[in-house]
Structure 1
Amino acid sequence: MPSPSPRARDRRQSLVERLAAIADELQAIHPPRHTATRNALRGALAAEAKRLDQAVTRLDPILRPRGLFDPSAPSTTGRIVALTMIAQQRHPLAALRPFYGAGVYALYYNGPFDAYSPISRTEQPIYVGKADPQDAEAKDAVSQGTRLHRRLNDHRKSIQKATSTLRLEDFECRFLIVQTGYQSAAEEQLIQFFQPIWNNDTKICSGMSKHGDNAETRSNKRSPWDTLHPGRQWADALAEDQKPESLIRKEIDVHFRRVPPHRTLESIVGGVIGDLAQLAPTSFTTAAGKDIPVEADFDENMPNDV
């Protein structure tokens, strides 16, 4: 391969020197006093730093995976537990008998409420959660107590009170009783994958899992869930909504367009498999029948040419 021309070397050296000067300037500036200004600057610089890292990666002719697969990582274990939960049978929420165990669960909606029509009768949960064991050292389901059933029963009671908008018979649930300590990582993976609209993390229609507020405390406002689904006496007694119903409905609609619901189990499995990919297949090969353009020969054990 021919050596780079002096002009090309000068351009590269000039680029590195300009970046070094910018880095020195950033080191010398004082952080802005106002939090909003400081956060805005940090966000903008982080975005440019990401672009710079991508440019540096592109200069390496050897492909890089997005990360190492670590079987011992909590996120890996959480993903396995979450996927196992999805494989469980769905049960009517209204007909659950008490059972022992702690773990993770998902609620599904099958009814006619218009705002939820994109997920009605699909495999997209409207809410996911966890139930911690009553004994933090529990080694079996009996020692964990009936925490998972109690959690589902709390949701049943809340839904049952929202008689003007919801019917208990329109709800089903899945759950998985897991070994103590794994429920938190599994819940995190479920929320991250499904982004359910009733979970606090999505910041859309949260509040169903609240158990009560003091109606005499003026700073308390009605949760979005209670605004959309009135019926819990303590919530109805609050004087003000956190968000108007029109805004909640708009946010739900925007969310379903941004995060299309999973309608089938096959869609879920495909999404999980896609998340596990380290590199796209096309990163290694070209389309069948096409030559691979070779821009340079290189030895992976030799230093890169600057």
Structure 2
Amino acid sequence: MSQSKPFNPLDRVNIGASVAQALLQQQPVSLGKIKPFSGAGIYAIYYTGNFKPYEPLVKRCRGGKFEAPIYVGKAVPAGARKGGTGLSASAGKVLYNRLSEHAESIRDVDNLDIKDFSCRFLVVDDIWIPLGESLLIAKFSPIWNNIVDGFGNHDPGKGRYEGMRPRWDVLHPGRAWAAKCKPRRETPQQITTDISTYLRSMTIPASPAILFAGEDNPTFESDGEQS
């Protein structure tokens, strides 16, 4: 590791990196079998099923490897969502509830199976949650955070369905609220093509380690069978 200045463990990036790294050290568990718990925090979801467009990611997750998340997210107390720090708010079961919402979304669709999804999650002090999430998304560029957006969307509610149907729901139909939104002109086949292009251009990190401030970029390797 080359350094231009002394390592500062209290550097903002280093603290965020330690949070992200702590998440990656957690044992993956089945997304559909998480028991209730309290706290806010961050999480990463992994896919090991047979949906063909995701095959390059699946190869990096099967066999207990779990090297490439399909989605990364966070759950913060209500006060933090409204722009506050959330420090005075009780987190309750916000992280558990968020993961449960994701599991329900997957159960609703026709071409995914909840049994094929695992996740890592970490309860974190509220102030460090956004930074940890941002570093994980920058590290892994998960498909559902980027090219197939909309997985984390909520039902907009009655009278608010004028927005466009999320790409995620075009590719994975089944959520009742999404069917009420305006149809997209894109077809599932077009989105699948975009996924293939995205994965061909994306380098999956050779190491799950998160960079700390002052470290050189790690060597990355691409999956030669991504086409």
Task: Give the TM-score normalised by the residue count of structure 2.
Answer: 0.80
Contact 2:13–2:212 (CA<8 Å) still a contact in 1?
no
Matched letter for residue 256 of structure 1: L
Within a 5 Å distance, the mapping from 1:152-301 to structure 2 comes to: 152-162=99-109, 164-199=110-145, 202=146, 204-213=147-156, 219-241=162-184, 243-262=186-205, 267-269=207-209, 272=210, 276-278=214-216
Over the aligned positions, Cα root-mean-square deviation in angstroms equals: 2.8
- CA shift, 1:73, in A, is 3.1
Mapped contact 2:42–2:124 kept (Cα < 8 A):
yes
Could you tell me which of 68, 71, 78 is aligned with 2:16?
78
State, as a whole percentage, how many aligned pairs show the same letter.
35
Can you list the C-alpha shifts for 1:91-140, whole angstroms capped at 9, x where unaligned?
A: 1011111001111100000100001111112420000011113562259x
4+ residue stretches of structure 1 with deviation over 4 A?
Answer: 64-70, 214-219, 273-276
Assess, with a 3 A threshold, how the Cα gap between structure 1 residues 66 and 224 changes in structure 2: closer, same or farther. Answer: farther
Q: How far is the alpha carbon of 1:236 from its aligned partner?
A: 1.4
CA contact (8 A) 1:215 1:238 kept: no
- Mapped to 2, the partners of 1:274 and 1:169 lie a distance apart of 34
Aligned residues of 1:221 and 1:242 also touching (Cα < 8 A): no
- C-alpha spacing 1:133/1:215, structure 2 compared with 1 (3 Å): closer
- What per-residue deviation string (whole Å, max 9, x for no partner) do you get for residues 20-40 of structure 1? xxxxxxxxxxxxxxxxxxxxx
1:274 and 1:218, CA in 2 relative to 1: closer, same or farther beyond 3 A? closer
Distance in 2, Cα, partners of 1:278 & 1:117: 30
More helix as a share of residues: 1
Q: Which structure is richer in relative contact order (CA contacts within 8 A, separation 6 or more)?
A: 2
Gaps of 5+ in 2: 80-85, 219-227
- Gaps (5+ residues) in structure 1? 1-63, 281-306
